[in-house]
Structure 1
Amino acid sequence: MSVVVIRELDAAEALARVVELAEVLRDCVEGGASVGFMLPLASGRPEAFWRKVAAGVAAGERHLFVAEDEAGRICGTLSLVVDMPDNQPHRADVSKMLVHRRARRQGLAERLLRALEARARELGKTTLVLDTVTGSDASRVYERLGWLKAGDIPNYALMPDGPLCSTTYYFKPI
């Protein structure tokens, strides 16, 4: 993949590209990513998820970033969730780091995360929080980029094919 563009989608673009976003989610889950979905994925489930994300973007509750390949196809996503309780206006959650298997090992996760962090700073956020499968490829990306490990929770979630997995929480002061 020679040219990849990282950009933020508005709500209308997110809604218009639900099928592409669903394809990335489907590929990640089928590839074993524990991102809140189980196999087999119910028909329409990924599309319904992305329609909810688009509604969250429209409501100002989240920001959606995508990586687009040289053909303009979405090959990665990442969300910044800014809808926080009243006593946490300074922080945001990072959600759904997804990179299609055809686009992995090319630095897309890092580029998506850097774009998200820059946007969070623009919004006045000072603390970011996320969770990921303990020992995952994503955890290595986060640690390399200065995210701090808060701790592990054993048996926190299920892998898409059923077994329990531990989750590691990370935070980053920005």
Structure 2
Amino acid sequence: MTKSDFPVLPPIEILTADKAESELAALGEVLWACVQGGAGIGFVLPFEREEAEAFWQSRLAGLRAGERYLLVARLDGRIVGTVMLELAPQDNGRHRAEVAKLMVHPQARRKGLSRKLLAAVEDLALSLERTLLVLDTVTGDTAESIYPKAGYSRVGVIPGYAQATRGGLDATTVFYKQLGS
């Protein structure tokens, strides 16, 4: 393999609240497309684009307050992937954070963007002195396989945890990762 055989991945960008607000339609499109594709990321069908934009709108206050961070990946200038870092607010939890809404637009998958977003959110967590990351994902979903490959340890499975995108109940798998030494 030569260097040219590897995809060139875009840099990951941290969006300020103001920038995120100006990108609500693009963020909403990624969320909407992922939910339409069946991603178990907290929403059920039917799910409208307006609901997707409203979700991101509801996250702006946390971005402004420094309680959460939003990272995005772009291809050809268009947002195609997201991940959030949600800081634990408790006094005894100042060392931990939750990884949330890791998603890549269905048209931009299989390019390594999930891995790149995860690496960037881990670097950000370390810069904020957050050394323990937690997350959950739908058990059996394609996304579940991403986390062990990125060094996350499986805690266990909670059956019937959330309503599935298309009805019924899904189990969720909980993961964690210790960062740094």
TM-score, normalization: structure 1? 0.95
State the superposition RMSD in angstroms. Answer: 1.3
Question: Paired residue for 1:150?
Answer: 155
1:4 positional shift: 2.4
* Aligned-residue offset at 1:158: 1.6
Q: Could you list the runs of 4 or more consecutive aligned residues of structure 1 that deviate by over 6 angstroms after TM superposition? A: none
CA distance in structure 1 between the aligned counterparts of 2:169 and 2:154, rounded to whole angstroms: 20
Give the Cα separation in 1 of the matches to 2:29 and 2:49.
12
Percent pairwise identity = 45
Runs (5+) with no aligned partner, structure 2:
1-6
Q: Distance in 1 between matches of 2:144 and 2:49?
A: 30
- For the residues of structure 1 that align with 2:72 and 2:29, how far apart are their CA atoms? 13
Which of these residues, 68, 91, 95, is aligned with residue 96 of structure 2? 91
5 Å-filtered alignment, 1:115-134, equals 115-134=120-139
Q: Is the 8 A contact 1:15 1:51 kept in 2?
A: yes
CA contact (8 A) 1:84 1:91 kept: no
Equivalent in 56, 60, 80 of residue 54 of structure 1 = 60
Q: Distance in 1 between matches of 2:9 and 2:116?
A: 12
The aligned length equals: 173
Q: How far apart in 1 are the matches of 2:148 and 2:21? A: 32
In 1, Cα distance between equivalents of 2:73 and 2:87 = 20
* Structure 2 counterparts to residues 9-158 of structure 1, below 5 A: 9-42=15-48, 44-70=50-76, 72-158=77-163
Query: The residue matched to 2:61 in structure 1 has which SS?
Result: helix
* Residue aligned with 1:151, SS: strand
Q: TM-score, normalization: structure 2?
A: 0.91
Instruction: Call closer, same or farther: CA 1:43–1:68 in 2, change over 3 Å.
Output: closer
Structure whose alpha-carbon radius of gyration is higher: 2
- Per-residue deviation at 1:115? 0.2
Structure 1: which 5+ residue stretches go unaligned? none
